[in-house]
Amino acid sequence: MRLSSGFRAALVALTALTGAGLSSAAQADSGSVTLTVYKGGWVIGGSAGSGTLNFRGKRYGLSVGGVDYGLVFGGSKTVLQGRVSNINRASDVAGVYGAAGAGLAVGAGARAIVLTNQKGAVLELSGRQVGLMANADLSGLAITLK
Q: Decide if 120 is inside a domain.
A: yes
Given a cut of 70, is residue 49 above it in pLDDT? yes
pLDDT confidence bin for 37, thresholds 50/70/90: very high
Q: How many domains does the chain have?
A: 1
pLDDT confidence bin for 20, thresholds 50/70/90: very low
Q: Decide if 13 is inside a domain.
A: no
pLDDT confidence bin for 134, thresholds 50/70/90: confident
Q: What are phi and psi of 117, to 5 degrees?
A: -100, 180
pLDDT of amino acid 94: 97
Q: Decide if 108 is inside a domain.
A: yes
What is the secondary structure of 99-133 as a DSSP string? EEEEEEEEEEEEEEEEEE-TT--EEEEEEEEEEEE
* Domain containing residue 72: 28-145
Q: Decide if 92 is inside a domain.
A: yes
Q: Decide if 3 is inside a domain.
A: no
Q: Decide if 99 is inside a domain.
A: yes
Q: Decide if 94 is inside a domain.
A: yes
Q: Is the pTM for the entire model greater than 0.85?
A: no
- Cβ–Cβ < 8 Å for 82, 35: no
Which amino acid type is present at position 97?
Y
Q: Decide if 130 is inside a domain.
A: yes
**CATH code at position 134:** 2.40.128
Q: Which of 7-16, 43-52, 64-73, 88-97 has the lowest mean pLDDT?
A: 7-16
